[in-house]
Structure 1
Amino acid sequence: MSSFRKPTQIRRRTVGRWEGGRWIEGDDTGIETILASVQPVSLSDQDELQARLEGRRIEAAVRIYTTAVLNVAGADDRNGDRLIWPHGSRQGDYLVVSVSPWQSGVISHYRYHAVLELEP
Protein backbone atom coordinates (compact mmCIF):
# COMPACT_ATOMS: atom_id res chain seq x y z
CA MET A 1 0.00 0.00 0.00
CA SER A 2 1.47 3.34 -1.05
CA SER A 3 1.29 6.33 1.27
CA PHE A 4 0.51 9.86 0.20
CA ARG A 5 2.81 11.09 2.95
CA LYS A 6 6.35 11.95 1.92
CA PRO A 7 9.45 12.94 3.91
CA THR A 8 9.04 16.64 4.73
CA GLN A 9 11.35 18.94 6.68
CA ILE A 10 10.20 20.96 9.68
CA ARG A 11 12.25 23.70 11.38
CA ARG A 12 11.64 23.57 15.14
CA ARG A 13 12.06 26.43 17.64
CA THR A 14 12.23 26.65 21.41
CA VAL A 15 9.51 28.34 23.47
CA GLY A 16 9.45 32.15 23.22
CA ARG A 17 9.04 34.56 26.10
CA TRP A 18 7.86 38.05 27.00
CA GLU A 19 10.66 40.31 28.19
CA GLY A 20 10.06 43.95 29.08
CA GLY A 21 6.77 43.95 27.18
CA ARG A 22 8.35 42.60 23.97
CA TRP A 23 8.06 39.13 22.47
CA ILE A 24 11.40 37.33 22.18
CA GLU A 25 11.49 34.54 19.59
CA GLY A 26 12.85 31.15 20.63
CA ASP A 27 16.00 29.76 19.09
CA ASP A 28 16.10 27.31 16.20
CA THR A 29 16.59 23.78 17.50
CA GLY A 30 17.30 22.21 14.14
CA ILE A 31 15.52 20.52 11.29
CA GLU A 32 13.43 17.38 11.71
CA THR A 33 12.06 15.14 8.98
CA ILE A 34 8.44 13.97 9.29
CA LEU A 35 6.09 12.10 6.96
CA ALA A 36 3.39 14.44 5.66
CA SER A 37 1.10 15.24 2.78
CA VAL A 38 1.31 18.94 1.88
CA GLN A 39 -1.39 20.53 -0.27
CA PRO A 40 -2.42 24.05 -1.22
CA VAL A 41 -5.31 25.47 0.81
CA SER A 42 -8.75 25.96 -0.67
CA LEU A 43 -10.05 29.47 -1.30
CA SER A 44 -12.39 29.21 1.71
CA ASP A 45 -9.46 28.15 3.93
CA GLN A 46 -7.42 31.09 2.68
CA ASP A 47 -10.28 33.52 3.37
CA GLU A 48 -10.60 32.13 6.91
CA LEU A 49 -6.85 32.44 7.51
CA GLN A 50 -6.86 36.06 6.29
CA ALA A 51 -9.64 36.90 8.76
CA ARG A 52 -8.00 35.13 11.73
CA LEU A 53 -4.48 36.40 11.16
CA GLU A 54 -5.23 40.10 11.06
CA GLY A 55 -2.19 42.27 10.58
CA ARG A 56 -0.30 39.57 8.70
CA ARG A 57 0.13 39.59 4.97
CA ILE A 58 -0.46 36.10 3.61
CA GLU A 59 0.83 35.36 0.12
CA ALA A 60 0.49 31.59 0.19
CA ALA A 61 -0.80 28.88 2.52
CA VAL A 62 -0.76 25.09 2.68
CA ARG A 63 -2.45 22.25 4.53
CA ILE A 64 -0.23 19.65 6.18
CA TYR A 65 -1.62 16.19 6.94
CA THR A 66 0.57 14.15 9.32
CA THR A 67 0.61 12.03 12.46
CA ALA A 68 3.46 14.20 13.81
CA VAL A 69 2.70 16.70 16.56
CA LEU A 70 3.76 20.19 15.45
CA ASN A 71 3.97 23.40 17.47
CA VAL A 72 1.36 25.98 16.49
CA ALA A 73 2.28 29.68 16.60
CA GLY A 74 0.75 31.42 19.60
CA ALA A 75 -0.24 28.25 21.47
CA ASP A 76 1.38 28.02 24.92
CA ASP A 77 3.96 30.70 24.08
CA ARG A 78 5.10 28.67 21.10
CA ASN A 79 6.73 30.33 18.13
CA GLY A 80 5.34 27.72 15.79
CA ASP A 81 7.23 25.21 13.71
CA ARG A 82 8.03 26.05 10.12
CA LEU A 83 7.52 23.80 7.12
CA ILE A 84 10.47 24.03 4.73
CA TRP A 85 8.77 23.94 1.34
CA PRO A 86 11.11 23.85 -1.69
CA HIS A 87 8.39 23.06 -4.26
CA GLY A 88 6.21 25.15 -6.54
CA SER A 89 6.22 28.85 -7.20
CA ARG A 90 5.98 29.93 -3.52
CA GLN A 91 9.01 28.30 -1.92
CA GLY A 92 10.09 29.14 1.61
CA ASP A 93 9.39 28.56 5.29
CA TYR A 94 5.68 28.25 6.13
CA LEU A 95 4.68 29.06 9.73
CA VAL A 96 2.24 26.57 11.33
CA VAL A 97 -0.74 28.67 12.51
CA SER A 98 -3.58 26.24 13.26
CA VAL A 99 -4.36 22.60 13.93
CA SER A 100 -7.40 20.32 13.66
CA PRO A 101 -6.96 16.90 15.24
CA TRP A 102 -8.63 14.06 13.36
CA GLN A 103 -8.41 11.25 15.93
CA SER A 104 -11.16 8.95 14.66
CA GLY A 105 -9.43 5.67 15.40
CA VAL A 106 -9.47 4.77 11.69
CA ILE A 107 -6.77 6.95 10.15
CA SER A 108 -5.86 9.30 13.01
CA HIS A 109 -3.88 12.37 11.98
CA TYR A 110 -3.60 16.14 12.35
CA ARG A 111 -4.46 18.76 9.74
CA TYR A 112 -2.37 21.89 10.10
CA HIS A 113 -2.52 25.19 8.23
CA ALA A 114 0.76 26.94 7.55
CA VAL A 115 1.34 30.33 5.91
CA LEU A 116 4.23 31.83 4.00
CA GLU A 117 4.98 35.10 5.73
CA LEU A 118 6.62 37.95 3.89
CA GLU A 119 9.11 40.25 5.49
CA PRO A 120 7.50 43.63 6.33
Structure 2
Amino acid sequence: MKQYNLGIEATLEIIGGKWKALIVCLLMTGVKRTGQLERSITGISQKVLIQQLRELERDGLVERKVYEQMPPRVEYSLTPYGVTAIQIVEVMCAWGTANIKMRQQAGEEIELLENESDMLDIRLSK
Protein backbone atom coordinates (compact mmCIF):
# COMPACT_ATOMS: atom_id res chain seq x y z
CA MET A 1 0.00 0.00 0.00
CA LYS A 2 1.33 3.41 -0.97
CA GLN A 3 1.17 6.06 1.73
CA TYR A 4 1.52 9.82 1.68
CA ASN A 5 2.13 12.14 4.62
CA LEU A 6 0.55 15.10 2.81
CA GLY A 7 -1.70 15.41 -0.23
CA ILE A 8 0.85 17.61 -1.97
CA GLU A 9 3.11 14.57 -2.27
CA ALA A 10 0.56 12.90 -4.56
CA THR A 11 0.27 16.12 -6.58
CA LEU A 12 4.03 16.45 -6.99
CA GLU A 13 4.29 12.79 -7.93
CA ILE A 14 2.08 13.49 -10.96
CA ILE A 15 2.91 17.07 -12.05
CA GLY A 16 6.14 17.71 -10.18
CA GLY A 17 9.55 17.98 -11.71
CA LYS A 18 11.00 20.31 -14.28
CA TRP A 19 8.70 19.67 -17.25
CA LYS A 20 5.27 18.22 -16.43
CA ALA A 21 3.56 21.37 -15.14
CA LEU A 22 4.97 23.24 -18.13
CA ILE A 23 3.55 20.62 -20.51
CA VAL A 24 0.14 20.87 -18.82
CA CYS A 25 0.38 24.67 -19.07
CA LEU A 26 1.04 24.49 -22.81
CA LEU A 27 -1.80 22.01 -23.35
CA MET A 28 -4.19 24.37 -21.51
CA THR A 29 -4.37 26.42 -24.72
CA GLY A 30 -5.40 23.40 -26.80
CA VAL A 31 -4.20 20.37 -28.74
CA LYS A 32 -0.49 20.31 -29.57
CA ARG A 33 1.69 18.12 -31.72
CA THR A 34 4.97 16.75 -30.39
CA GLY A 35 7.04 19.21 -32.45
CA GLN A 36 5.02 22.18 -31.20
CA LEU A 37 5.64 21.17 -27.60
CA GLU A 38 9.32 20.57 -28.26
CA ARG A 39 9.76 24.03 -29.82
CA SER A 40 7.89 25.67 -26.94
CA ILE A 41 10.01 24.12 -24.18
CA THR A 42 13.55 25.41 -24.27
CA GLY A 43 16.07 22.82 -23.16
CA ILE A 44 13.95 19.67 -23.34
CA SER A 45 15.11 16.80 -25.52
CA GLN A 46 12.66 14.88 -27.66
CA LYS A 47 13.38 11.74 -25.62
CA VAL A 48 12.56 13.45 -22.31
CA LEU A 49 9.47 15.14 -23.77
CA ILE A 50 8.09 11.82 -25.00
CA GLN A 51 8.87 10.21 -21.61
CA GLN A 52 7.09 13.00 -19.71
CA LEU A 53 4.09 12.88 -22.07
CA ARG A 54 3.83 9.11 -21.63
CA GLU A 55 3.91 9.50 -17.83
CA LEU A 56 1.21 12.18 -17.99
CA GLU A 57 -0.80 9.88 -20.26
CA ARG A 58 -0.31 6.94 -17.87
CA ASP A 59 -1.51 9.12 -14.98
CA GLY A 60 -4.63 10.11 -16.93
CA LEU A 61 -3.89 13.82 -17.46
CA VAL A 62 -2.98 13.71 -21.15
CA GLU A 63 -4.55 11.99 -24.12
CA ARG A 64 -2.50 10.91 -27.13
CA LYS A 65 -4.15 10.65 -30.52
CA VAL A 66 -2.31 9.01 -33.41
CA TYR A 67 -3.40 9.66 -36.99
CA GLU A 68 -2.64 6.82 -39.37
CA GLN A 69 -0.93 8.72 -42.15
CA MET A 70 2.55 9.13 -43.54
CA PRO A 71 4.40 10.60 -41.85
CA PRO A 72 2.53 9.66 -38.66
CA ARG A 73 0.89 12.55 -36.83
CA VAL A 74 0.50 12.51 -33.06
CA GLU A 75 -1.48 15.07 -31.06
CA TYR A 76 -1.70 15.58 -27.32
CA SER A 77 -4.48 17.17 -25.30
CA LEU A 78 -5.64 17.33 -21.72
CA THR A 79 -8.17 14.75 -20.62
CA PRO A 80 -11.16 15.85 -18.52
CA TYR A 81 -9.11 14.74 -15.49
CA GLY A 82 -6.14 16.76 -16.81
CA VAL A 83 -8.35 19.85 -16.99
CA THR A 84 -8.75 19.58 -13.21
CA ALA A 85 -5.01 20.31 -12.88
CA ILE A 86 -5.40 23.68 -14.62
CA GLN A 87 -6.22 25.46 -11.36
CA ILE A 88 -3.00 24.19 -9.82
CA VAL A 89 -0.91 25.26 -12.80
CA GLU A 90 -2.56 28.71 -12.91
CA VAL A 91 -1.70 29.25 -9.23
CA MET A 92 1.88 28.14 -9.91
CA CYS A 93 2.10 30.59 -12.85
CA ALA A 94 0.73 33.47 -10.76
CA TRP A 95 3.08 32.70 -7.88
CA GLY A 96 6.06 32.47 -10.25
CA THR A 97 5.17 35.81 -11.89
CA ALA A 98 4.85 37.48 -8.48
CA ASN A 99 8.17 35.92 -7.43
CA ILE A 100 9.91 37.31 -10.52
CA LYS A 101 8.50 40.80 -9.87
CA MET A 102 9.64 40.67 -6.24
CA ARG A 103 13.14 39.61 -7.30
CA GLN A 104 13.26 42.38 -9.93
CA GLN A 105 12.29 44.93 -7.27
CA ALA A 106 15.10 43.60 -5.09
CA GLY A 107 17.53 44.39 -7.92
CA GLU A 108 18.01 40.95 -9.44
CA GLU A 109 18.46 40.94 -13.19
CA ILE A 110 15.71 38.54 -14.17
CA GLU A 111 13.18 38.61 -17.00
CA LEU A 112 9.87 36.91 -17.73
CA LEU A 113 9.72 36.27 -21.47
CA GLU A 114 6.18 34.88 -21.73
CA ASN A 115 3.20 36.51 -20.11
CA GLU A 116 1.10 33.75 -18.54
CA SER A 117 -1.95 36.02 -18.45
CA ASP A 118 -1.79 36.10 -22.26
CA MET A 119 -1.91 32.28 -22.28
CA LEU A 120 -4.84 32.37 -19.85
CA ASP A 121 -6.65 34.91 -22.05
CA ILE A 122 -6.15 32.63 -25.07
CA ARG A 123 -7.53 29.63 -23.16
CA LEU A 124 -10.54 31.53 -21.85
CA SER A 125 -11.44 32.93 -25.28
CA LYS A 126 -11.86 29.41 -26.70
Q: Which has the larger radius of gyration?
A: 2
Q: Report the TM-score when normalising by structure 2.
A: 0.30
The answer to which structure has the higher helix fraction is 2
The answer to which structure has the higher strand fraction is 1
